[in-house]
Amino acid sequence: MAMGAAIAAPFYVGAGWLSDKVGRKKILLIGYALTMALTFPLFWTMADAANPALSKATTAFPVTLALPECDFDIFAGKQATDCGKALNFLSKRGISYSKEGAETVTLKVGNASVAGFDEKAYIAALEAAGYPDKSDPEQRNSWVIILIVATLVALSAMTYGQVAAILVEMFPAKIRYTSLSIPYHIGTGYFGGFLPFISQYIVVTTGGAFNGLWYGIGVTAMAFIVALIWLPENKDKDLD
């Protein structure tokens, strides 16, 4: 993570410099579009590089969780029901699963079937099907991970490197401090602050380990539309 971030950190300065040449809005919209297009492929590739055994097992032996209707308490430190514990167990390990209705909780993977929730039995059944208990450092492709982290940081730079200039140029000096602060903190505090909660809930609800990424893509799509229609291009504006 540190190496990838260090490699791409200059892109923040570069995006700001480039926005002075070609315009803030153009770089911002290109960054949004690339982010929406590349998020899933980048995370899929990084997951394959970081834990190839998990990717292979997911393809060869899909996991099915049979369970009754139950409420997953996203705020709970520990889930009270077997249903909640099973959902929590799989989602925290990054294991995708499909759901089917049943009267009792049952984990199905390969030829194994485990009734109820028993963490040790779940681990044993998953390991028998090739699911690793943790990532094996010997199998990781570190350079692929580093390059993907650098790419993600570069995409962030394209959508953030010129934001300070955009906000400064949008408002006159007498209201600038408040005008910058309110949208910035709404964006980081509410949209960013709720990301772990919403993305985790999406994963638990759908069973797809990567489905939480849809929240980030949805917010980016909203930002793209707003910027495309309403954001003015002020790169040559005289500031008061």
Name the range with the highest mean pLDDT among 34-43, 164-173, 203-212: 34-43
Helix (H) or strand (E) holding 84: helix 82-92
Share of the chain above pLDDT 90, in %: 63
Mean pLDDT of 152-160: 94
Mean of all residue pLDDT scores within the chain: 91
* Tally of CB atoms within 10 A around 237: 11
Query: Tens digit of pLDDT for each residue in 8-17?
Result: 999 999 999 9
User: pLDDT-derived band of residue 240, with 50, 70 and 90 as boundaries?
Assistant: low
Query: Distance between CA 155 and CA 148 in Å, rounded?
Result: 11
**Predicted local distance difference test score (pLDDT) of residue 69:** 82
Helix (H, G, I), strand (E, B) or coil at 100: strand
Query: Tens digit of pLDDT for each residue in 88-97?
Result: 999 988 999 9
**Predicted local distance difference test score (pLDDT) of residue 78:** 84
Mean pLDDT of 2-24: 93
Task: Select from 166, 161, 165, 163 the least CA-distant residue to 15.
Answer: 161
Query: Distance between CA 27 and CA 231 in Å, rounded?
Result: 13
- For residue 97, the cross-strand partners are 63
All domains of the chain, ordered by start, with CATH? 2-51+140-230 (1.20.1250), 62-128 (3.40.30)
Task: Select from 182, 107, 157 the least CA-distant residue to 6.
Answer: 157
pLDDT above 90 for 112: no
Query: Tens digit of pLDDT for each residue in 25-71?
Result: 999 999 999 999 999 999 999 999 999 999 999 999 999 999 988 87
Query: Tens digit of pLDDT for each residue in 133-143?
Result: 888 898 999 99
